[in-house]
Amino acid sequence: MTETDGNPFELAKQAAEVIAKRSGIKTHDIALTLGSGWGKAAELLGETVSEIPADEVPGFFSSGIPGHSGLIRSISLSQGKHALVVGARTHFYEDKGVRAVAHSVRTAAATGATIMVLTNGAGGIKEQWKPGTPVLISDHINLTASSPLEGATFIDLTDLYSARLREIARSVDSGLDEGVYVQFRGPHYETPAEVQMAKTMGGHIVGMSTALEAIAAREAGMEILGLSLITNLAAGISPNPLSHKEVIEAGQSAEPVISKLLAEIVAKL
Ligand code: 8IG
């Protein structure tokens, strides 16, 4: 599969068919992409009905990144709904093309999901966000110079990160702060000057994944909830340099708390 072959929506439909067949679940209601630090949440959401290695589903790749699992799970929720949990995100920096980046949300939509929960590990620009703090994404700035949309597809991104869903999240934890997510291409972290630029532009969170996925999810007609786990202060905000190992460790120690938070939010969706 290359960037120019076929139709991305057709590929997503094929992926959804494989998921339906192998899981025995005809339609899912809610989909979640679990980023760094959020992986354990899947177990608390409900009962896992099926687990499929991502690379056995059309258009997905196994991740190969430490801290990112590569499973597509179907989970039955207590309210009688089904959640699709995608543990295999393709990042823009992997250079597999923006279609590969959008594939998980397009597949989620093709399985019937109307709500897309996008989670990530990210850097924080607000000093009061200690590593391990979960925050809601209120809006984004896309600095990838790319879009998952092809051709003259004009999509409104007002209220991209649903105010209704953020309200539900705050009904679970009234202390949840929110901020504007700035997506850089990565995979390098930012320079301190780039973090200052993001801050000046109105950004509060820096990451490498969610903005492009959210655009594709909106195109697919889904309502979006975005959650970042601040695993590190962005470069230059903290005096210490960033390391991927520390990012993973911060995620691991926050995991029980944010997993419970996410499960409680999903139960109300
Ligand atoms: I975890 O500081 C994580 N992901 N761009 N910057 C960017 N992505 C991140 C960061 C960060 N931390």
Residue nearest to ligand 1 atom 8, measured at CA: 207
Query: For 201-242, how does the pLDDT look when each residue is reduced to its tens digit (9 = 90+)?
Result: 999 999 999 999 999 999 999 999 999 999 999 999 988 787
Whether pLDDT at 145 is above 90: yes
Angle CA 69–71–74, to nearest 5: 135
Q: How many CB atoms lie within 10 A of CB 262?
A: 26
Ligand 1 mean position, distance from CA 250 (Å)? 12
Using the structure block, give the residue that is written with the tokens 């949990």.
85
Atom of ligand 1 at shortest range from CA of 250:
1
Give bridge partners of residue 206 from the DSSP assignment. 123, 182
Atom of ligand 1 at shortest range from CA of 37:
1
The domain defined by 8-268 folds into Rossmann fold (3.40.50)
Burial class (CB in 10 A: 0-12, 13-18, 19+), 236: middle
Query: For 175-187, how does the pLDDT look when each residue is reduced to its tens digit (9 = 90+)?
Result: 999 999 999 999 9
- Told to judge if 190 belongs to the known catalytic residues of this protein, a careful annotator would answer yes
Q: Which of 178, 190, 213, 223 is catalytic?
A: 190
Angle CA 160–30–42, to nearest 5: 110
Angle CA 219–24–114, to nearest 5: 20
Whether pLDDT at 3 is above 60: no
Ligand 1 mean position, distance from CA 18 (Å)? 33
- CA–CA separation, 252 vs 259, rounded Å? 11
Query: For 35-89, how does the pLDDT look when each residue is reduced to its tens digit (9 = 90+)?
Result: 888 988 888 999 999 999 998 999 997 666 555 558 999 999 988 999 999 987 8
Ligand 1 mean position, distance from CA 34 (Å)? 15
Q: If pLDDT is split at 50, 70 and 90, which confidence band does 2 have?
A: very low
Q: What mean pLDDT do residues 130-145 have?
A: 96
* Average pLDDT value for the chain: 92
Q: What mean pLDDT do residues 94-107 have?
A: 96
Q: Where are the alpha helices (DSSP H) in 173-243?
A: 192-200, 210-219
Ligand 1: lining residues by beta carbon, under 6 Å = 36, 121-123, 184, 186, 189-190, 206-208, 231-232, 234, 242, 247
Burial class (CB in 10 A: 0-12, 13-18, 19+), 43: middle
Q: What is the pLDDT of residue 65?
A: 58
Cβ atoms of 23 and 73 within 8 Å: the answer is: no
